[in-house]
């Protein structure tokens, strides 16, 4: 449990070029605000994001950078060394000025009071029925009813005589891309490369979470 600082965050001009970061979800906790109220937060670990390559407007039609985290090196049969990253993601930038391949970006680019878009993969829950997956109501339990947790009629007898695409039915639940917009960053620790986002974030602990910066404090 951490108390929110009263100091206003400072924003440095060079960091305005960065549009996002690759992070890992650590877990959830709570933080106390100045008025004593508690809010739920999700902690995200910002691993050093390495600039792998760039996209130039003259060559590719737009300016962007490709970030990667957790590099692993290995040697090929010919003896050359290669690097593979656990996750790579492309972000558009306003300008490539001052950005070099091999440089690293930390949580400095996401100060407190920033608004971000969070993109993650929801937890997988396996095969689920319509009651759990789509919040259907169950059938009667007594008076000889044989309809308890079944979905009911799904097709038709006449044309087109098939189950329409998109029908709510039992199936795999979770493991889907989830996007949450206008999430507030309430805590940022550049020394530990740790930030806290207000509210829940999709995904299990240790999963990859993409942050896209919407706005920064004035």
Segment 86-102 mean pLDDT: 86
According to the model, what pLDDT value does residue 15 have? 39
Nearest alpha-carbon partner for 25 in 178, 214, 203, 218: 203
Evaluate if residue 2 carries a pLDDT over 60.
no
Evaluate if residue 207 carries a pLDDT over 60.
yes
pTM: 0.78
Evaluate if residue 13 carries a pLDDT over 60.
no
According to the model, what pLDDT value does residue 118 have? 95
According to the model, what pLDDT value does residue 84 have? 85
Contact 201, 118 (CB under 8 A): yes
Evaluate if residue 104 carries a pLDDT over 90.
no
Tell me the pLDDT band of 9, cut-offs 50, 70 and 90. very low
Tell me the pLDDT band of 1, cut-offs 50, 70 and 90. very low
According to the model, what pLDDT value does residue 3 have? 43
Measure the CA–CA gap between 126 and 171, rounded to whole angstroms: 8
Contacts of 105 (CB under 8 A, 6+ apart): 18, 21, 48, 49, 51, 67
According to the model, what pLDDT value does residue 147 have? 87
In order of their start, the domains of the chain are 2-74+83-124+176-215 (2.40.30.10), 126-173 (no CATH)
- Tokens encoding 190: 């550049």
Higher pLDDT: 108 or 51? It is 51
Q: What is the DSSP string of the chain?
A: -EEPPSSPP---GGGGG--EEEEEEEEEEEEE-TTS-EEEEEEEE---EEEEEEE-HHHHSS-EEEEEEEEEEEE-TTS-EEEEEEEEEEEE-S--TT--TT-EE-GGGS-TT-EEEEEEEPPP-EEE-HHHHH-PPP--SSTT---SS-----S-SSTT-SPPTT---SEEE---EEEEEEEEEEEEETTTTEEEEES--SS-TT-EEEEEEEE---
Q: For residue range 134-173, what is the model confidence (pLDDT) as tens digits?
A: 999 998 989 988 889 989 888 888 888 888 888 999 999 9
According to the model, what pLDDT value does residue 172 have? 95
Beta strands 20-32 and 2-3 are: parallel
> Residue 135: phi, psi to the nearest 5?
65, 40
Evaluate if residue 11 carries a pLDDT over 60.
no
CA 100 from centre of chain: 26
Segment 175-191 mean pLDDT: 92
């Amino acid at each position: 449990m951490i108390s929110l600082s009263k100091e206003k965050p400072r924003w440095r001009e060079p960091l305005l070029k960065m549009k996002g970061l690759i992070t890992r979800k650590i877990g959830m906790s709570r933080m106390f605000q100045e008025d004593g109220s508690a809010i739920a937060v999700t902690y995200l670990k910002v691993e050093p994001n390495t600039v792998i390559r760039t996209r130039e407007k003259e060559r590719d039609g737009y300016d962007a950078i490709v970030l990667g985290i957790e590099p692993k090196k290995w040697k090929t049969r010919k003896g050359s060394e290669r690097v593979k990253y656990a996750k790579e993601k492309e972000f558009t930038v306003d300008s490539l000025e001052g950005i070099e391949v091999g440089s690293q970006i930390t949580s400095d680019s996401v100060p407190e009071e920033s608004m971000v878009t969070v993109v993650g993969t929801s937890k997988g829950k396996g095969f689920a029925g319509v009651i759990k997956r789509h919040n259907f109501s169950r059938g009667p339990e007594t008076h000889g009813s044989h309809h308890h947790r079944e979905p009911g009629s799904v097709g038709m007898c006449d044309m087109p005589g098939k189950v329409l695409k998109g029908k709510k039915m039992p199936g795999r639940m979770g493991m889907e891309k989830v996007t949450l917009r206008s999430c507030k960053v309430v805590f940022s620790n550049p020394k530990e490369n740790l930030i806290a986002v207000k509210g829940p974030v999709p995904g299990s602990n240790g999963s990859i979470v993409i942050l896209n910066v919407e706005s920064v404090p004035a």
